[in-house]
Amino acid sequence: MFFRNSTEVEDKNWRKAAIFGFYTFLILLFVDTIYIYLNDNEVLSSTVIFWIGLLATFSVNFLLNVKSKRDSNKRKEI
């Protein structure tokens, strides 16, 4: 009622974005852990890591959906 069903392309884009976000979390946590180990001080707080990963996931999803729609519109014109 409130949300429309996503297309197959949007589902694929979401999976790609979720994987990208997961690896973003892994890299940020690795950098933070190494920094803590070397300097006894954290470079990023947990909240900042969370928001960066979430923002990365939704940004990549948005960009992939825009690219897919642009490509499908080009195919319709041809």
Flag whether 58 is in a domain: yes
Q: What is the pLDDT of residues 49-72, one digit of tens each?
A: 999 999 999 999 999 999 999 988
Query: Considering the domain boundaries, does residue 49 fall inside one?
Result: yes
Domain count across the chain? 1
Residue 74 in domain: no
Q: Is residue 38 part of a domain?
A: yes
Examine residue 76 and state whether it is found in any structural domain, yes or no: no
pLDDT over 90 (residue 77): no
* pTM, full prediction: 0.85
**For the chain, percent of residues with pLDDT exceeding 70:** 97
**With 70 as the cut, is the pLDDT of residue 1 above it?**
no
What percentage of the chain carries pLDDT values higher than 90? 76
- Establish if 31 belongs to a structural domain: yes
**Is the confidence at residue 29, as pLDDT, over 80?**
yes
73 in any annotated domain: no
Domain containing 36 equals 8-66
Give one DSSP letter per residue of 2-68, joined into a string: -SPPPPHHHHHHHHHHHHHHHHHHHHHHHHHHHHHHHHSS-SS-HHHHHHHHHHHHHHHHHHHHHHH
Tell whether 36 is covered by a domain.
yes
Is residue 71 within 8 Å of residue 23, measured between CB atoms? no
The rounded distance, in Å, linking the Cα atoms of 67 and 58 is: 14
